[in-house]
Structure 1
Amino acid sequence: MDPQMHPDAIFDEAKKKTWKQTILLCFQIVGVVYGQLSTTPLYVFGTIQSTAVSEEVVYELFSFIFWTLTIISLLKYAFIVLKADNDGEGGTFALYSLLCRHAKVGLLPCDRSTDEVMHCAERTSSNVKVVSRAQRAIENQKGCHYLLLFLALFGSCMTIGDAVLTPALSVLSASNGVQRSLSDMSHLFSSSEHSQELVSEALKRYVPVPCACVILVGLFMLQHYGTHRIGFMFAPIISVWLLFVGGVGVYNIFHWNKEIFYKISPVYMFKFVRDFNIKRWRLLGNIILCAAGSEAMFADLGHFSKKSIKITFICFIYPLLVLCYAGQVAYISKNLHVKDYNHLSESMPRHFKHVFILLSLFASAVGSQATITTSFSIINQCLALNCFPRVKVIHTSKKIYGQIYIPDVNWLLMILSLTVTVGFQDMVKIGNATGLAIISGMLVTTSLMSLIIALYWEKNLLVSACFLVGFGFFEATYLSASLLEFHKGAWYLVVLLVVIMTIMLSWHYGTMKKYEFDMQNKVSTEWLIDVCPNLGISRVPGIGFIYTDIVAGIPAFFSHFITNLPAFHQVLIFVSFKSLPVPCVPDSERYLIGRIGPKDYRIYRCIVRYGYYDHISDTDNFEEQIIRSIEEFISIEQNDIESMDSPHGRMIIVGNSLPADGNRDSESCIGPSSIINESQISPIDDSFEKASLPPPVKRKKVRFMLPANSPKMQASLKKELLELIDARESGSTYFLGQSHLMVRDGSSFLKRFLIMTYRLSEKNCREPPVALKIPHAALVEVGMVCTI
């Protein structure tokens, strides 16, 4: 951009660039976020028992479809829920995270000052909010905290269940279309009616399920390419699909029933409710499938932007879906005598049926993408709040933080989807389970969103109550219908819910107990200063790196170690990792360095901040970076007058300015970007476990040298730097803590079961990332038994 341009021209150019990016995102969104919602016409009417429908009932169901898309998808999600993002992330856990941050309802100890320190943020009086009576009531009730956690986990389980069921349902529905198309051509294989029936039966038995399984395997194998590439691959397919079914819908409206749009009147919904009948009421459990994928609009927010999601739905998805459903209902209302009239393929004009079959196969595969990416986002948020076992998270975009791929979860979803497809082989049963998952997740979002309106947006309680009652009543109606089909497939979702919920609850419970143990048993820095001399502790040559999640105080495992083996290294460095939601953290802002105890103790604290695309090379180089930063800290502290009054307890953000050859004049160091008292820092959560360090390569020696003649360097500074260099030359040792949970005798069965499940999950999940990068010869693991 030309710097000589007029400011208005620069603004216009930036605005044009923003709109280009938005349009590009809108194109990608069609194939990722709206794939499931776009393919719902394949199975909404297809999962309905054809014998239970009359012309009047068809009109009533169409009224429900229109107002469900309008009220839930358009009004609730596109206009209201999308505004409640958590730093660009969406989903039930994003809502729960907002409540934890702003209403103090989290079960893990949490202090916002930690995150503010890590982001170099400063508190101001304008950030302090007046606590409302409702907020105080919820904060003081421990039962509310457990209820909110349960709701968040329940909603997440429903999302994962949807990711298992929807691929099976959409692909199987398209495969059934292929089978029906081949059955129609059975006369080409045999002239006798009996032979045609045998061929049709064979096709029905051997075509849909194998075809669906092949498509499912192909879909899940594409996930590693990432949202960006998949979006470009899938967007044209869904766009063509929507334009095709929308165009066919317009044709059917004019050809079969031009007055179909009069049937969207709420009067037809009232007639349906007035003529209450259990058999008819069950149909609503299938109709809710028309809104399947609405939750993805919010849950996939981390992959895209609010503006692009809203524009795409309002201008493209919503009108074409309404036209498609209107055309299908227009056809059904005049063809109730036709076999399989409720399947979308039957409403296609004769010359376009083969085109429809081909498009439906591609679209059904793509349609499952929304639920898969949603499950990735939800599980990633669960990991951040210690509610899911550690799994590998791969960020597939340098620009958008939320675009991720989780290999372990991807293959697990594939296996479960194949199991559902092969096990049920019935669209109606899978549709019943999917409908229950969808409406349950929507009810959780409505409940949490009502609290967000009251506690986070600080709206009147009447507004929150109106949101809860209005949307909640509408969704509860569908829930009652879905529960009536519990014995016809919906039971599978409950089994899946119990298994996933047990894993999540046990992991959260075990992590919380470990965290509480670490917090209760950590010792103060004064203990290291006052007690250690009385223990007769020896200082051995070298550097000891102590990896810990605690950023204030001394971790329990280290005090346990030196109490039983009274010796530690000449230089000690307590290292903690903090993941930030940015691609890269500049070297000048990466390290937060402080001192523990008097200068003579040579004990330092280092907090390493990194983005999701930062990579630290081998262990030696990482050590070199930390030691350079400590050298810089020592030099800054020596020249800082304030350090005379506060010899320890300060954290300084330093810039990594040491040349590659290891030589540096201590007078050339960069001044601190920020100085923070350690008293401001409080314990942080398990997000340090996200440190992304690549495998160690061949070890190399790194030698640090001081300038031979430096008249400006003070003797104490030179002495400390020389000791640091000598310790590095003597070698390094790495300390990791391992807490083993044990249950006291006489504990309840529930506690024993949760801890047993936690220990089983811990053995089979990934190790903490930092543990994978440390040379085994230099690793010391300190085990402690945590009895609860």
Structure 2
Amino acid sequence: MDSGDTNPADHRPAKAIGALTALGIVYGDLGTSPLYTYQTIVSDAGGHPSAHVALGLLSLVIWALIVTVSVKYCVFVMRADNNGEGGILALMSLVTRQVGGARARTTAALIVMGLFGAALIYGDGIITPSISVLSALEGVTVVTSKLQPYVLPAALVILLLLFAAQRLGTGKIGRFFGPIMLIWFIAIALLGLMAVIRHPGVLVAVNPAYAIGFLARHGMHSLFVLGGVFLAITGGEALYADMGHIGRAPIRAAWTVIVLPALLLSYAGQTALIISNPGLTGNPFFMLAPGWAIIPLVVLATLATIIASQAIITGAFSLTRQAIQLGWLPGVVIRQTSDEEYGQIYVPSVNWLMMVATLALTWGFGSSAKLAGAYGTAVSTTMLLTTALLFNAMRDVWRWPLWVAASLSALFLVVDLGFFTANILKIAEGGWIPLVLGAAIFIAMRTWRRGVRAMKAKIDEEERAPNQLMADLAAGRITRVPGTAVFLSRTGTAVPIMLTRHVAQMGALQKTVVTLTLVFEEVPRVSAADRAQVEQVAPDFWHVRVHFGFVEVPNAMVALASARAHGCPVDLDEAVFFAARDHVVRGATSHRLPAWRRAIFSVMYRNAVRSSDRFDLPADRFLEVGRQVEL
């Protein structure tokens, strides 16, 4: 995080370490883009570009990096943090919390933008590992074409091992990610610099007139080229998404001092090589290296792409946890793989689904050149939606004047729309894959939210006023037996229907009773002072509301222990926990959900993780009571 200390020199070592960490976590995707970006751009431009065209292409890449990453993300988007957290869901929560119910239509539109943008990140997540690893391994064909048949099988093996290793966590090997990526950036910078020294004339491409001239001369055809240019910035969202783990200052420092110069030198070097060798064929990135360095460069590139893939997989895990705790996805098993690193989590269901999809894509497309058509549509759409949310942050959070917010947003919007249109043209080449996947996840998110609300409304109807139960307790008409019972109250009421049914069926109630409601707030973290709210409902009867942020691990046992400090005498060593296990069925008279949504919701609800697993409750003292809920 940005420090407010008066002696910034004291924090230089910490910032340096933070910047090194950012190289390994944040910049894997952006950093490995030179492996396949220029090869795609040259192909889209028709192959063998003239010197003037090559300079126009380089200028487009330079200004895409500056406008989108340096200005939009580093300066403005990263300023829109949600209590230090980033990512499109965090941004959605930030702006919708400010708009509130006063502008219901605006809030609904912002939610749709945020959810669809988040859903598309999964589409990006299955393509990034595939195109990155393939492009790295394809470097061996520069040495000899005889190795070409082994590229695809090797990529499949590496990807399979990568996903299989997720359950072990990356806490131990993660410390090497930063140094490896530093070596990578130094290597691509030196390779590019050597080519630039031989042909320094490419530096004139920093003049945006070359980019503007290229677009003006080539008209509609330039849109196809922009689709390739966009590959240079596809990792830009990671700067914002990983801000909560690393901090704003280290990410910006790493970009300014290391990443941006290395990328510019690499792209400039590839341009110099193309200009000096007009008949060049193949991937210009690997041709920058002398013959003896090709194999070591392929090894280094493979390591870098594995790190890039690891970052996007970890990002998908974090996004899933946020979506669950904000109420947009059902609970799934989430395992903490490190006692020291909060962000080190493993989500088995997401991991294996992504693995199957990634391996299928890799096998189906077979090469990075073919995959380039499928890459970019999801990310360009997410970036466009981020700009729309950013405008609302400027207006409703920062309270900027309309003309300032509109002017900046218009600049970003022009760039985003250009890239979005260019990528939409690649729909038939595979761009439909991440869009269809994103749309399916978006529908699942909306269905889950609507289904949960419908269930709550139905259960609320069945809830009976607790007056009779309270009167019976006060009059001693209910037998109290030794022990402690904790009832999970999903609706937030102090006396849930499960408790009244328990008393009716058993004819008795434990001596100490606690009804527990877990609430997930639209803020990243909840302070210890605000964690638990305790209300005494009756003698030996307590209602506890426990609050968690959307990036926190919801440990109910720890939260209940904190409730003891507020006067709730719950004995956690002997307490028995009760929760409802609802079964969704079709309503006999009224239907709260369309049939297709009810079917989807029923499957999702039936496969959601048990409360004991999600909230870390003791399984040997956890009882579920089944009931049917008509929707």
Question: Given the two structures, how large is their TM-score scaled by the length of structure 1?
Answer: 0.71
* 1:583/1:614 contact within 8 Å kept: no
CA distance in 2, matches of 1:615, 1:146: 31
| TM-fit CA distance, 1:28 | 1.5
CA distance in 1, matches of 2:622, 2:233: 53
225-234 or 156-165, which deviates more: 225-234
Indicate yes or no: 2:301 matched with 1:301.
no
CA distance in 1, matches of 2:36, 2:492: 53
CA distance in 2, matches of 1:243, 1:531: 76
Indicate yes or no: 2:186 matched with 1:243.
yes
Indicate yes or no: 2:615 matched with 1:653.
no
526-535 or 169-178, which deviates more: 526-535
The CA deviation string for residues 262-306 of structure 1, in whole angstroms up to 9 with x for no partner, is: 123222222222224544421211110100211001111222111
CA distance in 2, matches of 1:488, 1:509: 34
CA distance in 2, matches of 1:313, 1:104: 35
Tell me the equivalent position of 1:478.
419
Indicate yes or no: 2:25 matched with 1:32.
yes
The CA deviation string for residues 151-208 of structure 1, in whole angstroms up to 9 with x for no partner, is: 112111221111110110011111211133232xxxxxxxxxxxxxxxx4xx43x211
- SS of the residue corresponding to residue 386 of structure 1 reads coil
Partner letter of residue 274 of structure 1? A
| TM-fit CA distance, 1:436 | 1.0
CA distance in 2, matches of 1:748, 1:594: 36
| TM-fit CA distance, 1:40 | 0.3
* 1:450/1:465 contact within 8 Å kept: yes
The CA deviation string for residues 399-456 of structure 1, in whole angstroms up to 9 with x for no partner, is: 6644433233223222221111011113233212221122111111111111111111
Indicate yes or no: 2:267 matched with 1:325.
yes
CA distance in 2, matches of 1:589, 1:526: 29
| TM-fit CA distance, 1:309 | 0.8
Q: Which runs of 5+ in 1 are unaligned?
A: 1-10, 106-135, 184-199, 631-651, 663-692, 694-701, 703-727
- SS of the residue corresponding to residue 313 of structure 2 reads helix
Distance 1:225 1:239, change over 3 A: farther
Q: Which has the higher contact order (CA 8 A, sep 6+)?
A: 2
1:41 to 12, 20, 34: 34
1:83 to 79, 82, 103: 79
Tell me the equivalent position of 1:358.
299
CA distance in 2, matches of 1:69, 1:760: 43
Tell me the equivalent position of 1:284.
226
Indicate yes or no: 2:227 matched with 1:314.
no
Distance 1:84 1:229, change over 3 A: farther
CA distance in 1, matches of 2:525, 2:92: 24
CA distance in 2, matches of 1:551, 1:15: 47
Distance 1:16 1:272, change over 3 A: closer
Distance 1:229 1:758, change over 3 A: same
| TM-fit CA distance, 1:357 | 2.2
CA distance in 1, matches of 2:303, 2:37: 18
* 2:611/2:617 contact within 8 Å kept: no
* 1:36/1:369 contact within 8 Å kept: no
| TM-fit CA distance, 1:18 | 3.7
CA distance in 1, matches of 2:379, 2:96: 25
Indicate yes or no: 2:169 matched with 1:219.
no
Indicate yes or no: 2:127 matched with 1:165.
yes
Give the greater-gyration-radius structure (CA): 1
* 2:184/2:300 contact within 8 Å kept: yes
Tell me the equivalent position of 1:457.
398
Tell me the equivalent position of 2:584.
741
The CA deviation string for residues 654-686 of structure 1, in whole angstroms up to 9 with x for no partner, is: 599x9xxx9xxxxxxxxxxxxxxxxxxxxxxxx
| TM-fit CA distance, 1:525 | 5.4
CA distance in 2, matches of 1:429, 1:749: 45
Tell me the equivalent position of 2:90.
94
CA distance in 2, matches of 1:387, 1:268: 45
Distance 1:310 1:525, change over 3 A: farther
1:761 to 600, 604, 609: 604
Question: Given the two structures, how large is their TM-score scaled by the length of structure 2?
Answer: 0.88
| TM-fit CA distance, 1:319 | 1.1
| TM-fit CA distance, 1:219 | 2.8
The CA deviation string for residues 530-565 of structure 1, in whole angstroms up to 9 with x for no partner, is: 587899655555443212245553223334554677
The CA deviation string for residues 720-770 of structure 1, in whole angstroms up to 9 with x for no partner, is: xxxxxxxx8xxx654322333334468889722122112212223321236
Distance 1:753 1:531, change over 3 A: farther
517-526 or 363-372, which deviates more: 517-526
1:385 to 326, 341, 347: 326
Distance 1:781 1:32, change over 3 A: closer
380-389 or 732-741, which deviates more: 732-741
Tell me the equivalent position of 1:72.
68
The CA deviation string for residues 312-356 of structure 1, in whole angstroms up to 9 with x for no partner, is: 11111111111111111111122231222x431123234433332
* 2:44/2:228 contact within 8 Å kept: no
Partner letter of residue 184 of structure 2? W
**Residues 184-223 of structure 1 aligned to structure 2 (within 5 Å):** 200=146, 203-204=147-148, 206-223=149-166
- SS of the residue corresponding to residue 414 of structure 1 reads helix
CA distance in 2, matches of 1:97, 1:344: 41
- SS of the residue corresponding to residue 582 of structure 2 reads strand
CA distance in 1, matches of 2:420, 2:598: 33
CA distance in 2, matches of 1:425, 1:464: 44
Distance 1:227 1:455, change over 3 A: farther
- SS of the residue corresponding to residue 487 of structure 2 reads strand
1:147 to 90, 99, 109: 109
CA distance in 2, matches of 1:321, 1:382: 33
| TM-fit CA distance, 1:373 | 2.4
CA distance in 1, matches of 2:612, 2:65: 44
CA distance in 2, matches of 1:590, 1:156: 28
516-525 or 444-453, which deviates more: 516-525
* 1:86/1:94 contact within 8 Å kept: yes
CA distance in 2, matches of 1:564, 1:452: 53
- SS of the residue corresponding to residue 227 of structure 2 reads helix
- SS of the residue corresponding to residue 575 of structure 1 reads strand
88-97 or 230-239, which deviates more: 230-239
* 2:31/2:259 contact within 8 Å kept: yes
Partner letter of residue 34 of structure 2? P
- SS of the residue corresponding to residue 203 of structure 2 reads helix
- SS of the residue corresponding to residue 69 of structure 1 reads helix
* 2:227/2:422 contact within 8 Å kept: yes
**Residues 543-692 of structure 1 aligned to structure 2 (within 5 Å):** 543-562=484-503, 567-577=508-518, 592-597=533-538, 599=539, 602-607=540-545, 653-654=566-567
CA distance in 2, matches of 1:458, 1:242: 39
Partner letter of residue 40 of structure 1? S
Partner letter of residue 251 of structure 1? M
Distance 1:441 1:527, change over 3 A: farther
CA distance in 1, matches of 2:45, 2:343: 45
Partner letter of residue 566 of structure 2? I
CA distance in 1, matches of 2:341, 2:11: 15
1:510 to 435, 451, 456: 451
* 2:135/2:367 contact within 8 Å kept: no
602-611 or 67-76, which deviates more: 602-611
**How many residue pairs end up in the alignment?**
620
411-420 or 400-409, which deviates more: 400-409
Partner letter of residue 307 of structure 1? A
User: Alignment identity in percent?
Assistant: 27
CA distance in 1, matches of 2:355, 2:516: 39
CA distance in 2, matches of 1:286, 1:478: 9
